A and B are shown apart, each in its own frame.
Chain A
């Protein structure tokens, strides 16, 4: 078995985890609360395929973005785990 990662490596892993979470949750906030609620009237002036843009974000777009956010999270965390653990990661 290879060596257990150092405390510094673990701290780095956790910092990266937190900054990714911060980034993903910012996007989460912007598409739902931003585009879907706070700026919905401004965005409604534009249209996307027959649907006012703000309305689209509120009832469709935010949900698509949520799915993508979790997909990105899965990939990123797998990568971080691999960086931390090297060969032990399966």
Chain B
């Protein structure tokens, strides 16, 4: 069977599974819709959290990013797992004890203010939409490449699937679909990694394959894989893979911003509300990180494998001699057809020169004739409108494709390629569903029930939540079909914003009784204003000076959220100290968050 048939089969089966699960676990009350009735076992919650946490970016893009960044790629690995440690130790158990549904609920009650609640809702909705847009793009890319349908059709299919199980099942439906999606995505990630690890090093464990020697004629040779990759890189004029490219201070601050930014992600925090007791929340946090770590420790190995295979197969080959699209080994031309690989023959020798530096300015813009067909060059390559650079590099490879193309590059069987497509979809859909639920909960519970219309009946609230989820799916789909050109910038924005606003407010709320409304609000405002002006200046107002010579202490806009967070902490503490302490009932509430419920039983009654 060819790749397309296999993909239809595997993706179709996985979708049928998700829908069957959603129908079996429909939500019938708001409690079930928001937090699955608080009855999810820790192990299942751990898997669901892992699927929720690992987005299309983790599955599709991360290993690719690492393979282009080398050692600096560690900022994503450490940022997204280290942030989870902060979440599990500093936030999750306490928020679970607080016992309400959402983070805006906590902010609103702890700082005794509906304004604070509404600000928190807006932040949560903004962060969630930014993320959902990325997931929908991921769904579109997978569909267009593997099923050869329009990206838009792909997005719409994805929307319908999410709509069915998020709107019908609520958190209960999502939780059990996410368990299935975790199994699909981890299997899909591991199978090609294990295959390629065996092919390159003979070691079936990718994490160990990373440090093994390369096979020569089927037996381990004397050169380690990383030494070989460093050698290949040096020959082509790239920096050594195991060396850093960015400055230490920048890596430090970006990692910190990613950690703190992810720790405050609302869709992951809400998962800890779905288990019975605080004890279960802690255990499921452990399971979740264990399940996440399986993918995150394989990703750097995949990055190395993919980079080695790419550097071995493409540079200095004649374009015309590469296998045609859709034929065996035709991955290069397949992805060129999907706009994600581009080649300009600068020196006219018909060979693909690949070295450091961009081949041309910006993303590829392919030249088309009146009917929208591609215009081809002398060797059959697609022609580009982009302005060429002076450098010798002729090749553009989109970072997002490395994981998806990896099995093709390594020549793995068709069913493995199809499996990767299903895995990418599982990762994107599970995260999208979690985020959509946060949006609908924020609107129905925090905005309507707690702020606008407190008298709303349970049934009406459930319907409001369903309608909000449906509306959110449509908005997210619109972003997927018309992706804003600035998605990457907006993502930097979302992390910076989460780091410089939410995180200090929650931490101070739990660990410092003296923190009050005035302190936290002024801290949040200064933190957000500082961070967003820095990002807006370098990303939108004056992108020409977006380089380390002009950055504050050499910190890029991606890492500035860390400084914003520090400023927020200082201001929040200072202002809290000079203004009046929070009321006694709020201090009692902090006690309830800090100690097990049983320890306060009689004090309460």
- List residues of chain A with CB under 8 Å of any chain B CB: 1, 3-5, 9-10, 13-14, 17-18, 21, 24-25, 28, 32-33, 36-38, 40, 44, 48-52, 55-56, 58-60, 62-64, 66-67, 69-71, 73-74, 77-78, 81, 84-85, 88-89
Contacts and interface: CB of A to CB of B under 8 A. Distances in A.
Given A37-B248, A60-B300, A74 B255 contact: no
Contact of B208 (A24, A38, A49, A59): A49
B80 to A, nearest CB: 10
B565 interface: no
A62 B81 contact: yes
B73 interface: yes
Identify the interface centre among A5, A59, A66, A77: most chain B CB within 10 Å of its CB: A59
Given A32-B82, A58-B78, A4 B208 contact: no
B300 A33 contact: no
Interface in B264-289: 279, 282-283, 285-286, 289
B570 interface: no
The secondary structure that dominates the A interface is helix
Contacts of A36: 74, 78
A63 B77 contact: yes
B119 interface: no
B296 A63 contact: yes
Contact of B599 (A4, A55, A59, A66): A4
B598 A50 contact: no
A63 B297 contact: yes
Interface of B: 66, 71, 73-74, 77-78, 81-82, 84-85, 88-90, 93, 207-208, 210-213, 224-226, 242, 244, 248, 251-252, 255-256, 279, 282-283, 285-286, 289-290, 293, 296-297, 300, 511, 591, 594-596, 598-603
A64 B293 contact: yes
A56 B297 CA distance: 10
12 contacts: A18-B511, A28-B82, A36-B78, A37-B74, A50-B211, A55-B74, A59-B71, A59-B73, A60-B297, A63-B78, A67-B290, A85-B599
A66 B71 contact: no
Contacts of A32: 78, 82, 255
B88 A59 contact: no
Given A60-B300, A74-B283, A51 B226 contact: yes
Contacts of B252: 33, 37-38
Contacts of B297: 60, 63-64
Given A14-B595, A59-B73, A64-B297, 16 more contacts: A9-B599, A10-B591, A13-B595, A21-B89, A25-B89, A28-B85, A37-B248, A37-B255, A38-B248, A50-B226, A58-B71, A63-B81, A63-B296, A64-B293, A70-B89, A73-B89
A36 B254 CA distance: 13
A90 B255 CA distance: 38
Residue from the set A24, A49, A78 with the largest chain B CB neighbour count within 10 Å: A49
Contacts of A70: 85, 88-89, 285-286, 289
B598 A88 contact: yes
Contacts of B603: 4
Contacts of A58: 71, 74, 77-78
B242 A52 contact: yes
Nearest to A41: B244
A10 B286 contact: no
